[in-house]
A and B are shown apart, each in its own frame.
Chain A
Amino acid sequence: MLTASEPHYHQPLLKTPFHERARAASQLDSFVAWSGYSTVDVFTSVEQEYFAIRNASSLYDLTPMVKYRIAGADALRFLNRLVTRDLSKTGPGRVAYAVWCNDEGRLIDDGTVFCIAHNEYRVCTAERQLDWLSASAIGFDVEIAEVTEEVAALAVQGPTSCALLRALGLAGVERLKPFELGQFALPGAARPAPARIEMMVSRTGFTGDLGYELWMRPADAEGVWDALMEEGRSRAIRPVGSRALNIARIEAGFLLPNLDFVSAAHTLRVGTERSPLELGLAWLVDFNKGHFTGRRALLEEQRRGPTRQLVGLDIEGNKPAHNALLYADRSGRKPVGSVTSATWSPTCKRNLALAMLDAPYIALGSTVWAEIYLNRELVWERRMARARVVERPFYAPQRRRATPPADF
């Protein structure tokens, strides 16, 4: 935290409760800023970390996710007017992914809504939302408090993650279905954290794989990390950074703010904000639930039909189409969109991308051309690569949904 002796321009990034453990585990000292916190970009190598997510167990510190506690007699009514999907079906013990829009139906942010009890929720968002939440609360009996610093969060993801948590003594965690949450206790161990550690566990994640997110008091953070690393050693556990997670989330087809869309709260240029319909999130928009912010604008947009849409691309070759412009044909004369996220998928063995494409080209199976620049020992080449619109998610293993998960 900022102290009085430091000049204001030295304001440091905050450190998460896992910071000391992360620093000790980091070989590269590769930290980046995330929502005012310093977090790890890469621990050892992106590939090793990625395969921990897909083949073993991974730890990812998601404390910087902005968290709000939303409670009060109107909490559900407030949230249902805020987000585009119907949360009345998301009862206590359930989690829902949701997005919210401004009056013009343009996306402000996405996030997860945890229903902890009747009319008590935790909303996790990428960016700070207090201003918009406060505006949305006018006329509703609801209390909104930011609790980002009061809750430490750790994602445990990978095919062995369930077995690992069970081995640690989280009894019954295997019964959690996707998008369910529960209260669990890590039994006191002989190691430095002797007392039981209470925590909330949700079967959620950003990897598209089997995985859990652990929500605990900051004071318990290091004890949980240590217990997981110790018990997970035989299951090849690894702390992972944001770069490895990014590959997994593209495979899973998840969107990242400021890469796949820019919040309408931040855009300056006309036409750069995006609607959920354009982002392929029409399944999250429920026009029948009653009014929500942006509903009339979205209905009008739906009536007019799409002018562009975010799609998944399978691109020939193995060079990721980072930032590539997309064209109607190989000549590269008619631009039809651009890539927002790209990666070579080590698991699918496909060259994948998320891209914003103009309307005539968004149908599954249609073909566009990506302009990819290759640096070959400082000699740049331009390559036009055929790209096909394919279904998302690109990777969706059975184990992601299986309940109980396989015991490794």
Chain B
Amino acid sequence: MAAGGNGQYDCIVVGGGHNGLVCATYLARSGRSVLVLEAAERLGGAAVTREFAPGFRVSACAHLLHLMPAPLMRELGLAGHGLKLAAQALPTVALSADGAHLRLAPGDLSDLAQHSPADATAYAQWQALAQRLTAALHPVLAEPPPRLGTGSWRQRAALLRLGWQIRRLGRRDMRELLRIGGMCVQDLLDERFESGLLKGALALDAVLGSNLGPRSPGTVLSLLYRIAAAGGAEGLAQPQGGLGALSEALARAAGAAGAQMRTRAAVERIVVRQDRASGVVLASGEELAARVVISSADPKTTLLGLLGSEYLDAGFVRRVAQLRTRGLAAKLHLALEALPQFRGLTPAALRGRLLVAPSPDYIERAFNHAKYGEFSAAPMLEITVPTLADPALAPPGKQVLSVIVQYAPYALAAGWQGQRQRFTDLVIDTLAGFAPDLRRCVASAELLTPPDIEREFRISGGHWHHAELALDQFFMVRPVPGAAQYQAPVPGLFLCGAGCHPGGGVMGLAGRNAARQVMREAA
């Protein structure tokens, strides 16, 4: 729908990342006129597929799709808008230096039983518990969090509903949830399992993208969060054409709903008139008016950058400024002339997700460095070879290797400038420990450090979740008290990005929850 007669849109969405597009789709479907403004040349934010070497393309940040709930994808009709999965229900392979790797596939624990029969039983029990907890936790993620202290019955009812969902788990599961909720994941894993590879793989899931190690408190919460966000659906998927294809499908869904989208339209500031957000000014100087502005940019960028502290109270500004937003995950892309040989793995096994996280101790040691502003001497890796399922991402016969590397602190004490090559070599050497001929296959490499991600995708601190996912930045206090219901203190301004509940990963729930809140608050 076009802007109203006075040139005013009902809604302007700042940022065309996945959450911005999801939010725009729901708002446009409600009959509102919606304009999405994206600074980059393409929609998708960090969920884009980019050419990093001539003819080689790769998902820029996240390289697997696993958090976006199936019902949301159905509601958006993404399959109808061209989203195809090149692979799904991908297995995870926990690499071992001695070649005795552990393969975990959805519904297939036979390899685990070979490693440890006791773990196979215990893991099945853990998965069953996680499924039951997800039934209670997933609805929490799929709704705006309640706001306390307003005296509103609706808010109190929402909190009661949450309590009821947890109580409904039954006494045993509820007790277990409350017992493990604040624990560190290593304690949980040591209680339940014996295999270092299994524990390492689960610990990686708990700390991926976070400023946490397996012994950091709250890492059980982040593990449960990861499981619950996916709605209990097991397995990882790889969109055909990379994550960028997901964004393209989202954009088509938004377009079909009537939303307009503009790229190369960087928002410079949010306009406030009479203490109300009334539009935006683009870097070009063009001013666009809207009844409501919804930003999918991270909270610091939106509130301190685009809006500015002068429109906010000082205590609130301090909370936003103190938000922990420093990323620790780097991305390494390798263009390969040929497929390297991983010791102990068939080429078919390379289609899955490979992990270099042989034990929780390995990850904790890798994390130690990050605490002091150094990168890990022996980093934790999540590896995919997307070209195996989707050969079109590389020239014929050639391959792409995509690696998420932790820990690569945003504020490297030595500065990233002189360290990029050293770090790239370190990661390639680590990989070569498992695939000795890798180095010969590498045609070119691209490293994205957190500062690169910050610059490239306009995310403060280069943090994938926009703000650390930890208890103190979670649920009713995410991103900060006073903005946890997608509503900024300035009337007419909303947030819909990963910095909001339920957080980041390519999930899309923040965008949908925010759209609902906009419809409720700004009818």
Contact = CB atoms under 8 A, between A and B. Distances in A.
B314 A296 contact: no
A82 B311 CA distance: 11
Nearest to B304: A139
Given A81-B309, A139-B310, A103 B304 contact: no
Interface stretch (B25-33, B316-324, B344-352): B316-324
Nearest to A297: B313
A190 interface: no
From DSSP, what is the main secondary structure of chain B's interface residues? helix
Interface in B71-123: none
Contacts of B311: 291
Given A103-B482, A138-B321, A294 B308 contact: no
Nearest to B272: A291
B482 A138 contact: no
A213 to B, nearest CB: 28
Interface in B306-342: 308-318, 321
A140 B312 CA distance: 12
B308 A103 contact: no
B489 interface: yes
B315 A135 contact: yes
A296 B318 contact: no
Nearest to B307: A139
Contact of B317 (A102, A139, A295): A139
Nearest to A299: B275
Q: Which residue, of B275, B315, B318, B482, has the highest number of chain A Cβ atoms within 10 A?
A: B315
A139 B304 CA distance: 7
A315 to B, nearest CB: 38
Interface residues of B, number: 16
B252 to A, nearest CB: 38
Given A291-B275, A296-B275, A296-B489, A138 B310 contact: no
Interface residues of A, number: 17
Contact of A138 (B275, B304, B489): B304
Interface in A100-144: 102-103, 132, 135-136, 138-140
A96 B310 CA distance: 21
A132 to B, nearest CB: 7
B64 to A, nearest CB: 37
Given A103-B482, A296-B489, A77 B314 contact: no
A135 B310 contact: no
B314 A132 contact: yes
B312 A135 contact: no
Contacts of B321: 138
Q: Which residue, of B275, B308, B316, has the highest number of chain A Cβ atoms within 10 A?
A: B275
B310 A103 contact: no
A135 B318 contact: yes
Contacts of A293: 313-315
A82 B489 contact: no
B313 A138 contact: no
A135 B320 CA distance: 11
A83 to B, nearest CB: 11
A81 B312 CA distance: 9
Contacts of A82: 314
Contacts of B489: 296
Given A291-B275, A296-B275, A296-B489, A138 B309 contact: yes
Contacts of A296: 275, 313, 489
Nearest to B308: A139
A295 B312 CA distance: 9
Contacts of A295: 275, 313
A293 B311 CA distance: 9
Contacts of A138: 304, 309, 314, 317-318, 321
A290 B276 CA distance: 11
Nearest to B310: A81
A139 B309 contact: yes
Contacts of A140: 309-310
A81 B314 CA distance: 8
A293 B317 CA distance: 10
Nearest to B491: A296
Contacts of A132: 314
Contacts of A135: 314-315, 317-318
Interface string B279-317: 000000000000000000000000010001111111111
Interface in A77-106: 77, 81-82, 102-103
A300 B489 CA distance: 13
Interface string B464-504: 00000000000000000010000001000000000000000
A82 B275 CA distance: 16
Contacts of B310: 77, 81, 139-140, 290-291
A315 B311 CA distance: 45
Interface in A273-311: 290-291, 293-296
A82 B314 CA distance: 8
Q: Which residue, of B275, B310, B312, B314, has the highest number of chain A Cβ atoms within 10 A?
A: B314
What 5 pairs across the A-B complex have the smallest Cβ distances?
A139-B309, A103-B313, A136-B314, A135-B318, A103-B315
20 contacts: A77-B310, A81-B314, A82-B314, A102-B313, A102-B315, A103-B313, A103-B315, A132-B314, A135-B314, A135-B317, A135-B318, A136-B314, A138-B314, A138-B321, A291-B311, A294-B313, A295-B275, A295-B313, A296-B275, A296-B489
Given A139-B308, A291-B275, A293-B313, 13 more contacts: A77-B310, A82-B314, A102-B315, A103-B316, A135-B314, A135-B315, A135-B317, A138-B304, A140-B310, A290-B310, A295-B313, A296-B313, A296-B489
